[in-house]
Amino acid sequence: MYNIVVVEDELIELEALRIIINRDISGVKIFEATKGSEAIRLIDELDQIDMILVDINIPLPNGLDVIRYLRQKSRETKIIVITANDDVEMVRNMFEFKVDDYLLKPVKPQYLIKAIKNSLNFDENLNNKIKEQKVYINELINNCDYVQWNDLIINNVINEAYRAAKDQQRIIANFIMILQQIAKSNGWKIDALNNTEKLMSNLNFDERSYYNTFRILLSIGNDIFDVAFLSSGAKLNSIHRAQYYIERNIFKNMTLDDVADHAYISACYLSRLFKKQFGIGYSEYLTHRKMVIAKLLLNFSDLQINAIALELSYQDANYFCRLFKKETGLSPSEYRKNMVEV
């Protein structure tokens, strides 16, 4: 996710810039300032500013002073100057502060977007990927498809983030930004998504904190699906209710009777449904879903095998190991060793 600060004292212009950027560029968080003092406060408060769009003619301190202050803090932040004055001397001053582009008002949207993308070395493929992911996530939430949701977090968010040494935080931040946009567009109030900075500070990207980060993301999913399910009035069939309950409680010990109660059918009937739908019984299905989590934790976390067993509600580590080997053909220690060597 890119942090962009927009400094513009004309409120209509400020709103127009925000709309244009949000419409045409994915993975962006916009911070706004209407005067120089507000811009300087943002420069001091934000840990990362990827770009600043600044109108030179803002209330004191003016745009040039803001740029000068920014450059004392960072030489890496991209700067695009927007002004109504075609002043050659001012343009010369811009070179001193390593300004990336200079746009005259009124700025045409296509020129603005082109300038931003060029300055950020914007990855259009990533932009399209974020848009596609947003559509897919919307579909999962609307369909209350909890199985695919958890698989998305495991395979396309967690795995990708922890394999990308440099972009872990950006991948997670993009995912959270998409969830925030979806929640906002639906009018959902989800406390866990309200404060991005606080949330990201609780998410860490090493073996010691991997499990905690994973659980936080699953918890956010629980909150989203709770709100979505209640607001949509969706009616799930029995097997989907059973899957929904299993995914929500994947770390707990669940008997067939427990799941049947939450699917509002008898245990005997639910057992037949699992055989008919998946070709395997309830116990095998539950084991398979738990082993998906086990493989993830063996791959990325520093949790010991007996700790992973306990987290998944297997009190007997030897029993867990037998189930894991039956599922994967490898013991947990062999699986972890193979993953390290890859």
Distance (Å, rounded) from C-alpha 8 to C-alpha 220? 35
pLDDT of 92 > 90? The answer is: no
End-to-end alpha-carbon separation of the chain, Å? 29
Model confidence, pTM: 0.68
DSSP codes, 33-83: ESSHHHHHHHHHH-S--SEEEEESS-SSS-HHHHHHHHHHH-SSSEEEEEE
Residues of the chain with CATH 1.10.10.60: 128-341
pLDDT at 271: 95
pLDDT of 202 > 80? The answer is: no
Residues of the chain with CATH 3.40.50.2300: 2-120
Task: Kindly report, residue by residue over 108-132, the tens digit of the pLDDT.
Answer: 888 888 888 888 776 666 667 777 8
Distance (Å, rounded) from C-alpha 190 to C-alpha 194? 7
pLDDT at 3: 87
Task: Judge whether 301 and 340 are in contact, CB under 8 Å.
Answer: no
pLDDT at 206: 64
Q: Indicate the fold that domain 128-341 takes in CATH.
A: Arc Repressor Mutant, subunit A (1.10.10)
Tell me the CATH architecture of domain 2-120.
Answer: 3-Layer(aba) Sandwich (3.40)
Least confident of 145-149, 253-257, 268-272, 316-320: 145-149
Q: Percent of the chain at pLDDT above 90?
A: 34
pLDDT at 205: 60
pLDDT at 164: 59
pLDDT at 95: 63
Least confident of 23-32, 86-95, 255-264, 293-302: 86-95
Give 80 or 171, the one with higher predicted confidence. 80
Task: Kindly report, residue by residue over 37-90, the tens digit of the pLDDT.
Answer: 999 999 998 888 888 999 888 888 888 889 889 888 888 888 898 887 766 566
pLDDT at 211: 82
Q: 3-class DSSP state for residue 268?
A: helix
